[in-house]
Amino acid sequence: MEKARPAPGHPSTYGQACMQCYKAKCRCVPRSRGDSCERCHRLRKECLPSDSTRRRNADRAEESGTRIAQLEGKIEMLLSAVQSIVSSSGSSAEALRLLNEERIPSSTAGPNDTPANSISTNPSISGVPTPATDPSPLAQAHTDPCSPSQYSPSPSEPSPRQAEECLSFFRSRMLPYFPFINLTPDIAAWQLRHTRPFLFQAILVVTTFSTQKRLAQIEELKRILFTSALLEVQSSIDLLLGLLTYLAWSNDAFLGRADLISRLMILAISLVYDLRLFKPLPPDTILMMAITQGQDHESDQNPNDETFQGFMEKQRAVLACFVLSSNISSHLGRIDALRWTPQMEEALRIIEMNKSCLTDEAFAFQVRLQLLKQRAAHIREQQIDGARTATASVTTSVPGLLYLKTLREQLHELKSSFPPDLLQRGAFITHAHYVDLYINQLAYSISWDSPPLNLLGPRSDGGHLPGFERLKCLWWSVESIKSWLDSFYKISPSDLVGLPFHFWSQMIMCVTILKYLSVLEDPAWNRQEVRNTVDLIATMDCMIQKLDRVCIESNFQCDDSIFNLLSKLLSKCRVWAGARLNTSQIQDAEAGPYRSADPCETSHNSSIPDLDQMIWMQSMDLEDDQWFEDAMNLPAPFL
């Protein structure tokens, strides 16, 4: 029997308020027409009686009870099967093994979809600390391993054993090189699938090394992401962590899908803002939301209800979003990096002080390195804006050079502070050398209006010769590339498997700049000395051998991994470089030791582009032979 509503103009009694007023904790006064209450009519909201909603909740509870009964029936069947095995074979170990395998209903998966059949994982490689005192948000799940996740499982989802191997491989071989998640060893695959279903799906994707198989999984990941974030307009830390995981180890930048990476990065930034992870809402906005939406949104994010581990999880996600957006901005263009704020500086300070998670120390160094690079990029943006307004000149670029010199000193200080026992120290040192190269190249491009390397005559203002400054920056670039390569050679092939995408972009950039410096035609530049310091052909040969060893030692059951594709790129570049270097060496021999110092004789090859202005990187497709043909036929300054 339906409950009688109170008389119009009188507030509803306890338990009879509509759902809108009940949620907002407001007085519910029915209208005279009886179709809604005064507040819902004023706010133009649907007035739903609380009893109908409670009935729906009861229906849902009934459905959940049915689902639980079904699961209990399955468990009983499994226990009966185990008991029969024990009684027939007497092997308790075998029964336990079967029970563990059957705890989650398995589904079919391709034999090469996961590291289970393609990579021999090493469980001794951890790099992940023991759990902290507070339980990790990733481990806060029900004890029932058969609990359904938020998203429907994919038909190609791996079996429980394969899922565990994927998670173990990601945790021990990939995450340490970008440790923005505290994924402790006690978190099982079924737990992660329950608490962080989208992150779980992203891990399955990035641990698939066949390009074609990964592309099929990416489509399913995109479907889940777009449905949740765009159609259903959801914002959750799970979506953000999964999206950052995919972006960090994505191969799309090398497969002609740079536009997809840029769009997904913008979506990740929007999730950071929507979740208000580093920029709380101002009081007037909170008040307006309470008035217009009928509830106090500040109460939904009560900091007293959040655990320390949950708080740290969000801080790492914000900093990871900054690092990835900065890398994507400089390597692919099209987007601006997430701006550094005082709140992010405070988050980084908290990460550095956290001693309960050992990987936070390495992650903090990684963020500091990227912050120096981003500050250098900010100087370049100011120079471009000044050039557009016709205010930039050699004199106005001097402060920029001084600032870059300060950044270089801060970089060297940061490198010297790396703990000698820091896990993945070699990869982070390699990153530091690339930041040094980036700063040097920016210093070269700041004095853009001076002659290429003109060392003739003093400057009118009596200062340092701009050409000499550029000459120093170019040679520092040679030394930075050599240091990067030396660190790269020390990284074992098994460790190269887990490196994120921006490491491989750095490799391509280093080889490209080395090519420019090896064939730079300028009377003041000794390109033979560059070749004696770092031989371009020998460098590419060594890189090709290293990439091929990765495929062999990791026992990949495919020939279309990112390492195969990068090896293909370097092999084709080596053919071009061999012909180009032979031509320049003949020219050097004909010119002899006395080369002309006339800047007018400098060819177009003296122009070296900025690291973040190589447009061809945005169209790179290592699976497309036509792209290789077009790229190799481009003029030298663009190849």
3-state SS, residue 458: coil
Q: Distances in Å between the alpha carbon of 96 and those of 82, 186, 191?
A: 8, 19, 19
Q: Which one has a higher pLDDT value, 391 or 314? A: 314
CA atoms of 500 and 245, how far apart (whole Å): 10
Q: What is the pLDDT of residue 19?
A: 84
Least confident range from 305-309, 340-344, 382-386, 447-451: namely 447-451
Q: Are residues 538 and 477 in the same domain?
A: yes
Interhelix angle 359-388/308-332, rounded to 10 degrees, is 40
Up-side HSE of residue 393: CA atoms within 13 Å toward CB?
5
Q: Are residues 394 and 528 in the same domain?
A: yes
Q: Tell me whether residue 234 is in a domain.
A: yes
Q: Are residues 295 and 414 in the same domain?
A: no
Q: Which one has a higher pLDDT value, 501 or 458? A: 501
pLDDT 10s digits, 566-606: 998 888 888 877 777 766 555 555 454 444 333 333 333 44
Q: Tell me whether residue 362 is in a domain.
A: no
The residue out of 288, 313, 331 marking a domain boundary is: 331
Q: Tell me whether residue 544 is in a domain.
A: yes
Q: Tell me whether residue 30 is in a domain.
A: yes
The residue out of 331, 352, 374 marking a domain boundary is: 331
Q: Are residues 393 and 463 in the same domain?
A: yes
Q: Are residues 144 and 67 in the same domain?
A: no
Q: Are residues 201 and 287 in the same domain?
A: yes
pLDDT 10s digits, 254-289: 888 888 999 999 999 999 988 888 766 555 655 565
Average pLDDT for 147-153: 48
Q: Tell me whether residue 346 is in a domain.
A: no
Which residue is it, tokens 């359904």?
148
What is the number of domains present in the chain?
Answer: 3
Q: What is the pLDDT of residue 582?
A: 66
Q: Tell me whether residue 372 is in a domain.
A: no
The residue out of 331, 358, 392 marking a domain boundary is: 331
Q: Tell me whether residue 76 is in a domain.
A: yes
Q: Are residues 63 and 148 in the same domain?
A: no
pLDDT 10s digits, 107-136: 334 434 455 444 444 433 333 333 344 556
Q: Are residues 476 and 604 in the same domain?
A: yes
Q: What is the pLDDT of residue 128?
A: 34
Average pLDDT for 404-415: 89
Q: Tell me whether residue 199 is in a domain.
A: yes
Q: Are residues 94 and 141 in the same domain?
A: no
Structural contact between residues 113 and 213, judged by C-beta atoms closer than 8 angstroms: yes
3-state SS, residue 521: coil
| Burial tier of 571 (Cβ tally within 10 Å: 0-12, 13-18, 19+) | middle
Structural contact between residues 326 and 370, judged by C-beta atoms closer than 8 angstroms: yes
Residue 226 lies in domain: 137-331
Q: Are residues 148 and 47 in the same domain?
A: no
Q: Are residues 205 and 92 in the same domain?
A: no
pLDDT 10s digits, 22-75: 877 788 888 877 778 888 888 888 888 776 555 555 566 667 777 777 777 667
Mean pLDDT score of the chain: 74
Contact residues for 285 (Cβ-Cβ < 8 A; gap 6+): none
pLDDT 10s digits, 83-97: 554 454 444 444 334
Q: Are residues 633 and 512 in the same domain?
A: yes
Q: What is the pLDDT of residue 151?
A: 54
